[in-house]
Amino acid sequence: MKTMEKSLNRAGREELTGSDILLRCLLAEGTECVFGYPGGSVLPIYDAMVDRPGFKHVLTRHEQGAIHAADGYARSTGKIGVCMATSGPGATNLVTGIATAYMDSVPLVVITGNVPTAVMGTDAFQEADIVSITMPVTKHNYSVRHASDLPRIVREAFHIAGTGRKGPVLIDIPKDVSSQKAVYEPADRILPRGYEAAPSPDPNAIDRLLQAIGESERPIVIAGGGVVYSQAADELLAFIDRTRIPVTTTFLGLGGFPSAHELWLGMPGHHGTYAANTALQNADLVISIGARFDDRVTMKTDGFAPKAKRIAHLDIDPAEIGKNIRTDIACIGDIKDVLAYANANAVRSRSEAWIRTVQEYKIKHPLRYRDSETELKPQFVLEMIHETTGGDAIVTTDVGQHQMWVAQYYKFNRPRSLVSSGGFGTMGFGFPSAVGAQIGNPDRLVVSVNGDGGMQMCAQEMAICAIHKLPVKIVVLNNEVLGMVKQQQELMYERRYSQIDLAGSPDFVKLAEAYGIRARRAATKEEAVLAWREALETPGPALVEFMVPKDENVYPMVLSGTTLDQMILGDAVIE
pLDDT in tens, 255-285: 999 999 999 999 999 999 999 999 999 999 9
Q: What is the tally of structural domains in the chain?
A: 3
451 and 480 co-located in one domain: yes
Exposure string over 380-392, b if 16+ CB within 10 A, otherwise e: bbbbbbbeebebe
Exposure string over 119-128, b if 16+ CB within 10 A, otherwise e: eeeeebebbb
539 and 468 co-located in one domain: yes
pLDDT at residue number 9: 59
* Residue 273, CA distances (Å) to 258, 359, 555, 560 in order: 16, 12, 9, 16
Question: Considering the domain boundaries, does residue 575 fall inside one?
Answer: no
402 in Cβ contact with 481 (< 8 Å): no
385 and 358 co-located in one domain: no
Question: Considering the domain boundaries, does residue 193 fall inside one?
Answer: no
pLDDT at residue number 548: 98
420 and 499 co-located in one domain: yes
Angle at 566 between CA 358 and CA 321, to 5 degrees: 75
Nearest to 137 by CA among 165, 108, 95: 95
Question: Considering the domain boundaries, does residue 292 fall inside one?
Answer: yes
281 and 159 co-located in one domain: no
d(CA 468, CA 124): 36
384 and 355 co-located in one domain: no
Percent of the chain that is helix, strand, coil (3-state, to 5): 40, 15, 45
Q: How many residues does the chain have?
A: 575
420 and 453 co-located in one domain: yes
Q: What CATH number did the domain enclosing 273 receive?
A: 3.40.50.1220
Question: Considering the domain boundaries, does residue 194 fall inside one?
Answer: no
Question: Considering the domain boundaries, does residue 140 fall inside one?
Answer: yes
204 in Cβ contact with 30 (< 8 Å): no
Phi and psi at residue 267, in whole multiples of 5°? Answer: -90, 140
Question: Considering the domain boundaries, does residue 192 fall inside one?
Answer: no
pTM above 0.85, yes or no: yes
Residues of the domain holding 19: 15-183
Return the bridge partners of 330, or none.
313
Return the bridge partners of 289, or none.
223, 314
pLDDT at residue number 574: 35
87 and 128 co-located in one domain: yes
54-60: long-range pairs with CB below 8 Å, 24+:
55/23, 55/26, 55/27, 56/32, 57/33, 57/84, 58/33, 58/34, 58/435, 58/439, 58/464, 58/468, 59/464, 60/35, 60/36, 60/432, 60/435, 60/461, 60/464
Question: Considering the domain boundaries, does residue 29 fall inside one?
Answer: yes
Catalytically annotated residues: 63, 125-126, 175, 484
Instruction: Point out the domain boundary residue: 311, 330, 364.
Output: 364
**In 10 A of CB 560, how many CB atoms?**
11
pLDDT at residue number 4: 43
427 and 345 co-located in one domain: no
pLDDT at residue number 190: 72
Non-local CB neighbours of 33 within 8 Å, separated by 6+ positions: 56, 57, 58, 73, 82, 439, 440
319 and 209 co-located in one domain: yes
387 and 467 co-located in one domain: yes
Instruction: Point out the domain boundary residue: 131, 152, 183.
Output: 183
**In 10 A of CB 407, how many CB atoms?**
26
Question: Considering the domain boundaries, does residue 198 fall inside one?
Answer: no
284 and 390 co-located in one domain: no
Q: What CATH number did the domain enclosing 53 receive?
A: 3.40.50.970
The one-digit pLDDT tens for each residue of the chain (575 residues) are 444 445 655 555 779 999 999 999 999 999 999 999 999 999 999 999 998 988 999 999 999 999 999 999 999 999 999 999 999 999 999 999 999 999 999 999 999 999 999 999 999 999 999 999 999 999 999 999 999 999 999 999 999 999 999 999 999 999 999 999 999 999 887 777 888 888 899 999 999 999 999 999 999 999 999 999 999 999 999 999 999 999 999 999 999 999 999 999 999 999 999 999 999 999 999 999 999 999 999 999 999 999 999 999 999 999 999 999 999 999 999 999 999 999 999 989 999 999 999 999 999 999 999 999 999 999 999 999 999 999 999 999 999 999 999 999 999 999 999 999 999 999 999 999 999 999 999 999 999 999 999 999 999 999 999 999 999 999 999 999 999 999 999 999 999 999 999 999 999 999 999 999 999 999 999 999 999 999 999 999 999 999 999 999 999 999 999 999 999 998 644 33
